[in-house]
Every structure is written in structure tokens, then in C-alpha cells.
Amino acid sequence: MLAPGRSRPVTEMKQFYFPWALLLVVLTSGCERREPTVTESPRLEVSNRRYTIATVVKLDGIAWFNRMRAGVQRFAGETGHDCFLQGPPRADAALQVRLIEDLIAQGVDALCVVPFSVEALEPVLQKARRQGIIVVSHEASNQVNSDAILEAFDNHEYGAHLMDHLARFMGGEGEFAVFVGSLASKSHNEWVDGALARQRQQYPNLKLVRDRLEENDDQNTAYEKTKELLKTYPNLKGIQGSASTTAAGAGLAVEERNLQNRVAVVGTGLVSQSRQYLENGSVKLISFWDPADAGYAMNRLAEMLLEGKALAENLDLGVEGYRQLRRDVVKTNLFFGSAWVDVTRENMDQYNF
């Protein structure tokens, strides 16, 4: 069966590389986790072999993962590997599990995964690794069944960074609310944990009005829940979002009520989603890491693991924000980049996505 974006079936490739795939299964059988060893950062080069690398995201069809697909395609074009991106039609852990099951059955060489729920994917990723499939995770710092985990930055630092901006726009006082895409999203909740820790430490005059709200990576849900917030808490002065869909959804609700001068919205987002709200002040600031670069970097990391290359501190994946990775001192297969970018009305024209 031909997967989207492929030039030849996986089964044909597996027949061609069967002895190597069998050897990989034998060597890794029974291992729940394969930790990379410490060596000097390897020199990046084009592989002499052709691999099938599937990138599986939370859901397909939204701006964030459309942009990530561009990075995956760029990597495929540069290397000749069979790389493609897929995701379920809606943010649903069971659908993502089913998609990964299908890819395991097809016999891909590696999976690059952005989990909707880290815990829900553990069994299926364990199955993949037992069959010799390399797994690289992103936005999943607590993933157990992963050969390598790539984070764009330290999640708690990023959340604290967003809180600094929110507090500044709120004048250091007032009521605020926080959103996550999902209560099961590890990275989103770590961002909020970091934000709330910073608020307690440095901004005691800010008041959280309620527990974190869940918007399921859906802009319309963020819009509807923001309308409810503004009605329930008429003194609300700030909103911090996590999913790429929150800022635009909240911005629309703020714009409709002409509250640009009273309510500050900050959060992760893309210019393509938030431009009009940045222009009119309904969103004060968005921050992001380029999903295309993240997609490229994940695939590069998967290729290195498939080639048997060791991973180390200061690892260079050949793309901006991922050229000098910091390795976690405890969880040695966890790596952090330095890839976040802040965007306001003043500099948004520098970004065309």
C-alpha cells in the first residue's frame, strides 16, 4: 500500500533491506529503552541508505502541522529518504494510536511523533520499538518508549517567559486565565506550570481566576471558552494560551467586544493565524518555534539513530535553533534546543507562515 508522499511501497523497501531490519530487531529485542551514548557531536552528512521515516502529529490540517510538513518535505528532498507527515482528522489519542498501528504494519524504519497524549501512546510506541522501529518524540519530555526526545526549549523556561510578557502587558496586576490544548498534553501543561511558578514568585498581584482551560487544539473552542470567560469574569485582564489555536480564538473574542485596551492575550501561535489580531491589538504577542525546523530536526535525529550514530551534548542537527542541543543530565535521551521566537505587531512581517 502506498502511503501519502511515497514513491514506492514500504514492503518493497523492506524486502530490499530485510537483512538489516532483521539484525536491528534481534539487537534490540526486549529493550524497553535504548539510551544513546556520549561521544563527540557527529558530522552531519547525507546517508548512503534510503529510509522510510513517518512523522505522526496530533492532528492534520491546521497551520502548525502544515508548516511542519514543509520541513519534513525539505529533509526528504535533501536526503532522498522517503519522509512524510500524517495525523488524524481531529485531536484524539485513539485515532493517533490507530494511525501508528497502521504505520507499524507497513514497516516504516522510524517514527517521529508529536503525541496528543504521551501516556496513551506508550503501548503502541513500545510495540514499534520491539519491532526495531526507531522512535523520536517531540513535545513529550516524559515519554518512556522513545529512542530520543527533542524539545525546542526547556518547557518551564518557555512558560515563565510567556508569563513575563503577560504580566508586562497587564501592568503587573489583575485577573488572568490560562489555556492548554489538552490536559493530557505534557508540554502545554509544563508551560503553564512554569508560568504559574513565575507568577507566584514575581507577580503576586496577578490572580488566576480558575484552573487551566482545555480547548482541544481547536480555534473555535478557544473562541467560545474565551467568550464565557469574559462574561463570567468581567474584570479579566489577561489570557495566556498554549496551543497554536488559542491566541487567534481568544483574540477574536476580545476583538468582537472591543476589549483590546483592557484584555491582553499572549501565547504560542503563528503569524498566519494571528496576523489580524496582532494588527488590531486583540493579541499582544505570540511566541513559537518554527514547526518546519522542528520537523526537519526530528527527521535528522531519526536518520542519525538509524545510521547508528551516537548522540551527545552540543549535538548539531543542522537547522537554526537546533545547532547546539543541551542534553538533560538525568534523562540522557532528552535534548533541548533554543528555538523560540517572539512576535508582535512590530516584527510580524518578518514571518510568512
For 334-353, b/e burial (b = at least 16 CB within 10 A) is bbbbbbbeebeeeebeeeee
**Does the residue 146 lie in any domain?**
yes
Boundary (domain end) residue, out of 256, 288, 320? 288
Residues 149 and 73 in one domain: yes
Considering Cα of 38, then 40, then 41, then 44, what sign does the dihedral take?
negative
Residues 159 and 278 in one domain: yes
CA 224 vs. chain centroid, Å, equals: 24
pLDDT in tens, 91-100: 899 999 999 9
pLDDT in tens, 226-281: 999 999 999 999 999 999 999 999 999 999 999 999 999 999 999 999 999 999 99
What one-character-per-residue DSSP string does 128-195 give? HHHTT-EEEEES-TT-SS-SEEEESS-HHHHHHHHHHHHHHHTTT-EEEEEEES-TT-HHHHHHHHHH
116 touches 185 (CB < 8 A): yes
- The model carries a pTM of 0.76
pLDDT recorded at residue 48: 74
Which range is least confidently modeled, 14-28, 80-94, 118-132, 324-338?
Answer: 14-28
**Does the residue 54 lie in any domain?**
yes
Residues 90 and 214 in one domain: no
Residues 180 and 283 in one domain: yes
Residues 149 and 270 in one domain: no
**Does the residue 26 lie in any domain?**
no
**Does the residue 75 lie in any domain?**
yes
Range(s) of the domain holding residue 314? 32-153+290-339
Q: What is the mean pLDDT of residues 11-34?
A: 35
pLDDT recorded at residue 5: 39
